Amino acid sequence: MPAQPDNSAVPAIEVRDLVKTYGGITAVSRVNFAVARGEIVGFLGPNGAGKSTTMRILTGCMPATSGYAAVCGLSVAAQSEEVKRRIGYMPENNPLPEDMRVSEYLHYRGRLKEISRKKLGPRLDEVLERCDLKRVRHRIIGTLSKGYRQRVGIAECILAEPPVIIMDEPTIGLDPRQILIVRDLIASLRGRMAVVISSHILPEIEMTCDRVLIINQGRIVAQGTPDQLRRDLLGGARYELELAGPDAGLATLLAGIEPTLKISAAHAPGDDGFRRLTLTTTSTTELGEPLWRALTAGGGRRLRGLTRIRPSLEEVFLAATGQNWDAERKAS
């Protein structure tokens, strides 16, 4: 008997030892991961990391060289038609028919997805509304701006309310306002559909996704929530403060709060006597309050700013891959 396809205990996506080689190039190298129902997961990785290849395999568009991939408990290789019914997919570059009208195209896709005629009308209205496409519903797709075309791609993805959505760089080429709209749209799917998106935009992945898979050279080099990744890969914490007063005794005072707490950078004082200091520690214990208390307890010191710095996902990426994100982007 085949696996129960819509049993909610079965993960939305399961990938085991997935490998894809193109001729001599290994694009995906023994990749393992799972995505829970309703979870939003981000694929993060530089150009050529294997993100699109993994997505194409999951959607049944391309066979794997070896390994196992399943969607809702159904093998992608053995039950690809069943799998396609459960996935909304927006491929890289979002190819769309240039000469169709928006509503005509979505109607056609809806029928292909076997949405009944009766349900399709109201569902189209709903999706056009959610993707902010009502104004352009009668426009020819070829005349639409990039942002609108992206939204048509997203509308097509969610149309049949599949349990799994896979979008390859859904916000590429969008302006900041449209990125916000798309981000909100993706967030609104949380809990209802499992969503996998790929992106080069680190803050976007951070803001949208419950969990991140960092992919590099065909391998998953780290995975977890952004905060877990920070903790696991970077450890410790950094604090930035604006402090006036004497230097004497400061290092001892900091060591008294936490033995590994040290000044790692200090700016020259401004005209008002305050200077910016960066403190680092290998401890993950929250030190904000003890720092505040110790630095405002007299000794001629005055404190007017104290912030715990959250390392950026760029730093996490660097730690996971040993590469600089910008260098990767510039090289590509």
Burial class of residue 150 in the structure, from the number of CB atoms within 10 Å of its CB (0-12 exposed, 13-18 middle, 19+ buried): buried
Query: In which region does residue 30 sit, left (phi positive, over 0), alpha (psi from -120 to 50) or beta (all else)?
Result: left
**Among 8-16, 45-53, 127-135, 304-312, which window interacts with ligand ATP (CB under 6 A)?**
45-53
- By three-state DSSP, how is residue 240 classified? strand
**What does 49 bind: ligand ATP, Mg ion, none (CB cut-off 5 to 8 Å by kind)?**
ligand ATP
Among the listed residues 6, 22, 225, 265, the single contact to ligand ATP using CB under 6 A? 22
Question: Under 8 Å CB-to-CB from 248, ≥6 apart: which residues?
Answer: none
Among the listed residues 2, 17, 25, 259, the single contact to ligand ATP using CB under 6 A? 25
Among the listed residues 27, 43, 52, 64, the single contact to Mg ion using CB under 5 A? 52
| Residue placing its CB nearer to Mg ion in the complex, 43 or 148 | 43
Instruction: Decide if 210 contacts 197 (C-beta within 8 A).
Output: no
Per-residue x/- track, 78-117, ligand ATP (CB under 6 A): --------------x-------------------------
Closest CA to 304 of 315, 294, 295: 295
**How near is the Cβ of 201 to ligand ATP at its closest, in Å?**
11
**What does 309 bind: ligand ATP, Mg ion, none (CB cut-off 5 to 8 Å by kind)?**
none
Distance of alpha carbon 89 from alpha carbon 94, whole angstroms: 9
Neighbours of 93 (CB within 10 A): 12
Which spans of this chain sit near Mg ion (rule: CB under 5 A)?
51-52, 92
Which spans of this chain sit near ligand ATP (rule: CB under 6 A)?
22, 25, 27, 45, 47-53, 92
